[in-house]
Chains A and B, each alone.
Chain A
Amino acid sequence: MRSSGGSRLGDVFWRRPGLPVLVMLTPPVLWLGIVYVGSLLTLLMQSFYSLDDFSGLVVPEFTLSTYAQLLTPANFDIIRRTVVMAALVTVADAIIAFPIAYMAARYARGHWKALFYLAVMLPLWSSYLVKVYAWKLILAKEGILNWLFETLHLTPLLDLVLAIPGVGGNSLSVSSIGTFLVFVYVWLPYMILPTQAALERVPANLVDASSDLGGRPSATFRHVILPLAFPGIVAGSIFTFSLTLGDYIIPQIVGTSRLFIGQAVYAQQGTAGNIPLAAAFTVVPVVIMGIYLTIAKRLGAFDAL
């Protein structure tokens, strides 16, 4: 006969399988519920307050006037610029990631497989700031890219690109092209991994069946592999899109003086002391990501995560 408290508890757990699940779930749900969701709700509440223009103090009364401020041309411009950048970065990442993911999933074996894995994991887990810093070194006026262009006698071409209004600038490190390059680089591994996972799950016999039935490689690719890999690409795009929407450090270090959403939030809550407007600004990426995640779920991206 068993008598220790531990075993009796174990028996209770065994007879009522719902109970241990409840016990196990309580700590993490309490933590995430209180620390995270609680904080999010506090923030949301702040966005319905407003800032008194004369005293500079937050007025804790319900109003929509702070949200109305988001629609002023200057603020709306920030939102549009950020969303366009996030979309461009996502598309570029999908294009660059696909060949890497495809090679890693379907051709690489043995040492090559390990190399591909490390080549993705190293930049993914390397310090975010170190990556940004490395690009500062690459894009600087005396840096590697300019040296490369000079060595190849292509400097006039670079100058021509930098002269384009809206995307160019004095040098690569103070242009929107620079911001774009760094964003694409920093989030690329987040696109490769889900794409690769989706490609690895494409059953080999489907590919064989397609070619047995006379499908040329390009047709097999278009009608079998690509549709099956698509949820993985959408899953990756959740990260690339969301991370670009909220980032404020990359455009601060590499880029023009025109603000992105993250920078606006940072400036409003810091120097300007306008917490309500900062909170309202953060609601924008939350709403956009809410819509994005709903669509992604429909496309099956969550099963590909």
Chain B
Amino acid sequence: MRSEDGRAPLFLRLAAAGGLVYLLGPLLIIFVYAFTTEERSFVWPPPGLTLKWFAVAWNRPDVTAAIVLSLQVAAVATVIAMVLGTLCAAAVSRSRFFGRETISLLVILPIALPGIITGIALRSAFATFEIPFSFWTIVLGHATFCIVVVYNNAVARFRRTSQSLVEASMDLGADGFQTFRHVILPNIATALLAGGMLAFALSFDEVIVTTFTAGQQQTLPLWMLEELIRPRQRPVTNVVALFVVAATFLPILAAFYLTRDGEHVAGAGK
């Protein structure tokens, strides 16, 4: 009899290993290119290694301005998404009501439909209602598709939080807000934090919707896109790419540790 603890068949291990190389290889290549001495083309292997492009990138005002704008947009969009996503998750997980399916569809739609549709829809709405492009038009788009990641994380945690805890709290004389503050919030806090960090990463990286809602402003992804289409200084792009990989690595690692307990154990799925 075969048991689950047995070793995987060889071909399966090879296929999975190949898949992992395919997944991670391209990201590792970015690291190497950030140090190359080659200025104009993508020569492989790099003719030499240097650190000077980090200094050059750091002194470019367009790069730092783009980073600052991206951080600001991501921060505001994340706060909005966390409030709206948590409210929605609390309502949906708490009861069965008419239109519950519609609500989950509504939340998932902004990422289930291609980003270009969200983008052009927002743009045509801005044009129709004569709303000028600003910081807030970018935030509007970002918050809309970030709701779903907060919602997903929160809904999963709400389902695992026993309703009897809430009932016990109420029986013991706590009012609704005390119950929320001392019982519900501690239970869902790490899920919210993880959802928030993923929303932040999602917004920090978003390019398609931003193209349509940014007007003249340049977030970091828009800066990258410009460099991809009309390259000015390749090594600076390499360094920025490395920075972006590193900047997304940390929140993911943190989100992993926050939601790790119990949720990623085999068989823990519903």
Q: Which residues of A contact B (CB under 8 A)?
A: 2, 4, 6-7, 9-11, 13-14, 17-18, 20-21, 24-25, 27-29, 31-33, 35-40, 42-43, 46, 96-97, 99-100, 102-107, 109, 113-123, 125-138, 140, 142-144, 147, 185, 188-189, 197, 200-201, 204, 207-208, 211-212, 217, 238-239, 242-243, 245-249, 252-253, 262, 265-266, 269, 275, 278-279, 282, 285-286, 289, 293, 305
Q: A10-B178, A35-B122, A103-B13 are in contact. List 5 more A-B contacts (CB 8 A).
A: A113-B264, A122-B24, A130-B244, A143-B42, A269-B120
Q: Is A28 touching B29 in the complex (CB atoms < 8 A)? A: no
- A-B pairs with beta carbons under 8 Å apart, 28 shown: A6-B177, A11-B175, A17-B94, A27-B87, A28-B147, A29-B106, A32-B144, A43-B117, A43-B121, A100-B19, A103-B12, A115-B20, A118-B252, A121-B252, A134-B29, A136-B228, A137-B30, A137-B33, A144-B29, A188-B23, A242-B112, A242-B113, A246-B116, A246-B117, A249-B207, A265-B116, A269-B123, A305-B108
- Give the size category of B's interface with A: 35 or more
Q: Is B85 touching A103 in the complex (CB atoms < 8 A)? A: no
Q: Is A127 touching B19 in the complex (CB atoms < 8 A)? A: no
Q: Given that A43-B121, A140-B41, A189-B23 are known contacts, is A10 also in contact with B175, CB under 8 Å in the complex?
A: yes
Rounded to whole angstroms, the CA-CA distance of A207 and B3 in the bound complex is 9
Q: Which of B15, B20, B125, B147 contacts A39 (CB 8 A)?
A: B125
Rounded to whole angstroms, the CA-CA distance of A114 and B20 in the bound complex is 13
Q: Is A96 touching B22 in the complex (CB atoms < 8 A)? A: yes
Rounded to whole angstroms, the CA-CA distance of A84 and B260 in the bound complex is 39
Q: Is A24 touching B16 in the complex (CB atoms < 8 A)? A: no
Which residue from chain A places its CB closest to the CB of B101 in the assembled complex?
Answer: A302
Chain A residue numbers with a CB within 8 Å of B221 are 127-129
Q: Is B29 touching A137 in the complex (CB atoms < 8 A)? A: yes
Which residue from chain B places its CB closest to the CB of A215 in the assembled complex?
Answer: B2
Q: Is B267 touching A134 in the complex (CB atoms < 8 A)? A: no
Q: Is B248 touching A125 in the complex (CB atoms < 8 A)? A: yes
Q: Is A96 touching B19 in the complex (CB atoms < 8 A)? A: yes
Q: Is A27 touching B83 in the complex (CB atoms < 8 A)? A: yes
Q: Given that A103-B16, A140-B42 are known contacts, is A39 also in contact with B121, CB under 8 Å in the complex?
A: yes
Q: Which of A35, A127, A212 contacts B205 (CB 8 A)?
A: A127
Q: Is B23 touching A132 in the complex (CB atoms < 8 A)? A: no
Which residue from chain A places its CB closest to the CB of B115 in the assembled complex?
Answer: A246
Q: Is A138 touching B116 in the complex (CB atoms < 8 A)? A: no
Q: Is B45 touching A147 in the complex (CB atoms < 8 A)? A: yes
Q: Which of A116, A118, A243, A253 contacts B229 (CB 8 A)?
A: A253
Q: Given that A28-B88, A127-B244, A129-B225 are known contacts, is A134 also in contact with B266, CB under 8 Å in the complex?
A: no
Chain B residue numbers with a CB within 8 Å of A117 are 256, 264
Q: Is A137 touching B42 in the complex (CB atoms < 8 A)? A: yes
Give the total number of A-B pairs whose CB atoms are below 8 A apart.
Answer: 294
**Which of chain B's residues 194-212 have a Cβ closer than 8 Å to chain A?**
198, 201-202, 204-205, 207-208, 211
Q: What 0/1 readout, one digit per residue, does chain B (54-70) give for beta carbons within 8 Å of chain A?
A: 00000000000000000
B26 at the interface (CB under 8 A from A): yes
Q: Is B249 touching A122 in the complex (CB atoms < 8 A)? A: yes
Q: What 0/1 readout, one digit per residue, does chain B (142-162) give for beta carbons within 8 Å of chain A?
A: 011001000000000000000
Chain A residue numbers with a CB within 8 Å of B110 are 32, 36
B1 at the interface (CB under 8 A from A): yes
Q: What 0/1 readout, one digit per residue, does chain B (10-36) give for beta carbons within 8 Å of chain A?
A: 001101100110111011011001000
- Minimum CB–CB distance for A50 against chain B, Å: 15
- Minimum CB–CB distance for B237 against chain A, Å: 7
Rounded to whole angstroms, the CA-CA distance of A130 and B207 in the bound complex is 11
- Minimum CB–CB distance for B181 against chain A, Å: 10
Q: Given that A99-B16, A246-B115 are known contacts, is A13 also in contact with B176, CB under 8 Å in the complex?
A: yes
- Minimum CB–CB distance for B3 against chain A, Å: 8
Q: Given that A17-B95, A28-B147, A142-B41 are known contacts, is A122 also in contact with B27, CB under 8 Å in the complex?
A: yes
Chain A residue numbers with a CB within 8 Å of B262 are none
Q: Is A106 touching B266 in the complex (CB atoms < 8 A)? A: yes
Rounded to whole angstroms, the CA-CA distance of A125 and B85 in the bound complex is 19
Chain B residue numbers with a CB within 8 Å of A121 are 252, 256
Chain B residue numbers with a CB within 8 Å of A107 are 7-8, 12
Which residue from chain A places its CB closest to the CB of B31 in the assembled complex?
Answer: A134
Rounded to whole angstroms, the CA-CA distance of A115 and B264 in the bound complex is 12
**Which of chain B's residues 251-270 have a Cβ closer than 8 Å to chain A?**
251-253, 256, 264, 266-270
**Which of chain B's residues 60-119 have a Cβ closer than 8 Å to chain A?**
80, 83-85, 87-88, 90-91, 94-95, 97, 103, 106-110, 112-118
Chain A residue numbers with a CB within 8 Å of B109 are 32, 36
Rounded to whole angstroms, the CA-CA distance of A249 and B211 in the bound complex is 11
Pick the most buried of A36, A107, A278: most chain B CB atoms within 10 A of its CB.
Answer: A36
